[in-house]
Amino acid sequence: MKPGWASDTVHRRAAREGYRSRAAYKILEIQERFRVVRPGDTVVDLGAAPGSWLQVLATLTRGTILGVDLQPVPPLPGVTTLVGDFTDPAVREQILAAVPMVSVLVSDAAPHLSGNRSIDQARAVGLGEDALALACRVLSPGGNFVVKSFQGEDFDGLLAEVRARFRAVHVYRPKVTRKGSRECYIIGKNFAGRETC
Ligand SMILES: C[S@@+](CC[C@H](N)C(=O)[O-])C[C@H]1O[C@@H](n2cnc3c(N)ncnc32)[C@H](O)[C@@H]1O
């Protein structure tokens, strides 16, 4: 992917290559750079609809893949999905029951935008914190974590929380990210274990 590609070019490329959304190129870039998923890994994908990260993940591992979203994800071979809000304790228990030990937890979840910048920022960072709390419960020691976030208020707090729990942490802005967006991903590698949570 060339830097600065116009978003409609990326969109058309995704359609041509059979991906459900342009977001596929974000996880492809993250994987190329940080090697977060290994063959055989069990992966949970939060905020998975319409399913382009799941399409990519299915090419990276033969292990169990569970996608969770508020919206149904159209079926994909080799992938299990769950409709629900991962911040809801009952849904978290369903996730734990389905995959008690997870090697990689990724979250591309984004809240519905209200239009109020500071409310949206707080919600987005809050979702990242909820994803981290779930990672603390399901990840095996040594596991990897990828979470979407937005640079701005409270971002540094989330980053510090990830740093306290993973031995290597990176902040990455994929080249396909829309111009002007504050979106970025925090990548935590090598989970140090539940005692850090
Ligand atoms: C940017 S889209 C994800 C795109 C996806 N990674 C893909 O490649 O197809 C963000 C998704 O997060 C989901 N989402 C937001 N909050 C959520 C929550 N609390 N629980 C589950 N899904 C959530 C939304 O329903 C939306 O489908």
Cα 79 to middle of ligand 1, angstroms: 16
The residue whose CB lies within 8 Å of the most ligand 1 atoms, and thus the one to mutate among 56, 66, 108, is 108
pTM, two decimal places: 0.95
Per-residue pLDDT of the chain (197 residues; tens, 9 = 90+): 444 456 678 889 898 999 999 999 999 999 999 999 999 999 999 999 999 999 999 999 999 999 999 999 999 999 999 999 999 999 999 999 999 899 999 999 999 888 898 998 999 999 999 999 999 999 999 999 999 999 999 999 999 999 999 999 999 999 989 888 899 999 999 999 999 99
- C-alpha angle 112-77-88 in degrees, rounded to nearest 5: 35
Token readout for 189 is 């590698």
70 lines ligand 1 (CB under 6 A): yes
State how far the Cα of 29 lies from the Cα of 135, in Å rounded to an integer: 22
Domains of the chain by start residue, with CATH: 7-196 (3.40.50.150)
Position in ligand 1 atom list of the atom nearest CA 54: 8
Q: In 10 A of CB 89, how many CB atoms? A: 8
Which positions are annotated as active-site residues? 148
21 lines ligand 1 (CB under 6 A): yes
Write the burial class of residue 3 (CB in 10 Å: 0-12 exposed, 13-18 middle, 19+ buried): exposed
Q: What is the pLDDT of residue 6?
A: 60
What contacts 24+ positions apart, CB below 8 Å, involve 123-127?
Answer: 124/148, 124/149, 124/150, 125/149, 125/150, 125/152, 125/153, 125/154, 125/155, 125/157, 125/158, 127/47, 127/87
Residue with tokens 């949970």: 44
Whose C-alpha lies nearest to ligand 1, atom 21? 69
**CB–CB of 55/24 below 8 Å?**
yes
**CB–CB of 185/19 below 8 Å?**
no
Token readout for 72 is 């149904």
